[in-house]
Amino acid sequence: MINKTVSTVSEALTGIEDGMTLMLGGFGLCGIPEKAITELVRLQLTQLTCISNNAGVDAFGLGLLLQQKQIKKMIASYVGENAEFERQMLSGEMEVELIPQGTLAERARAAQAGFPAFYTPAGYGTEVAEGKEVREFNGKMYVLEQAFDADFAFIKAWKGDEAGNLIFKGTARNFNPNMCGAAKITVVEVEELVSAGSLDPNQIHVPGIFVQRIFQGTDYEKRIEQRTVRSKS
């Protein structure tokens, strides 16, 4: 039986080095690979290129790597609630490539499927299209976008089995499934790790063929990016 489990996050990150390109799943603070990020901070890696929908907040998620100046380039769709990200971008300390959210998802999915590039209408006529090939199809202009080329993809799933089959919950399904298998090595952390064959095949979102390493994390914070409450009447 296939077994892709590793016992610790340290073992899961074996082989990672300075200057590598990393994909990190999640949407806002939902479904982010908290344990992998914490280990990246501990390893004090530098000159990293990070691909993620956003960069967390100042003291959580990718914001922890930003605080330590470990990221050389950030590829994201928006700045989010992160003042340090904004500061480093505006000061020129960090290179930033902001791209449409759908394009980010599709560049990951193209890498996952083995497509080198694809055409999209998103960004045509804007700064996004500068320096890129454009082409007309059926009277509409499209921009050629290249698939991502990443060394590691770090994924957070709700439940997984020893063979790497994954189930996501709620908003965590944003970007995480697309990034599985989109890098040379895909590392998944799950809240619940079960034996192979325990998951209902009809409930599996990503099959284990897209995963190289999987481990069970504990004590996830699952912070809320913006909490809005009202007093009881």
pLDDT in tens, 114-149: 999 999 999 999 999 999 999 999 999 999 999 999
Asked if CATH classification 3.40.1080.10 holds for the domain at 9-114+148-216, the reply, yes or no, is yes
Query: Looking at residue 59, what is its pLDDT?
Result: 80
Q: Does position 226 have pLDDT exceeding 80, yes or no?
A: no
3-class secondary structure, 17: coil
Query: Looking at residue 61, what is its pLDDT?
Result: 84
Q: List alpha helices for 144-220, DSSP H.
A: 176-179
Share of the chain above pLDDT 90, in %: 79
CA 123, CA 134: separation in Å to the nearest integer? 10
Q: CA-CA distances (angstroms) from residue 33 to 57, 93, 95, 124, 136? A: 14, 25, 23, 33, 39
**Residue keyed to tokens 């449409």:** 100
Which residue did the predictor score with more confidence, 50 or 233? 50
Contact in structure between 18 and 49 (CB atoms under 8 Å): no
Among 27-31, 150-154, 210-214, where is mean pLDDT lowest? 27-31
CB neighbours of 193 closer than 8 A, spacing ≥ 6? 5, 159, 160, 161, 162, 214, 215, 216
Q: List alpha helices for 50-202, DSSP H.
A: 63-67, 83-91, 101-113, 176-179
Query: Cα-atom radius of gyration of the chain, to the nearest Å?
Result: 18
Q: CA-CA distances (angstroms) from residue 129 to 59, 123, 134, 150, 219? A: 33, 6, 8, 22, 42
Task: Give Cα 2 to chain centroid, integer Å.
Answer: 25
Q: What is the pLDDT of the chain when averaged over all its residues?
A: 93
Predicted structure pTM score:
0.92
Q: What one-letter code names the amino acid at 226?
A: Q
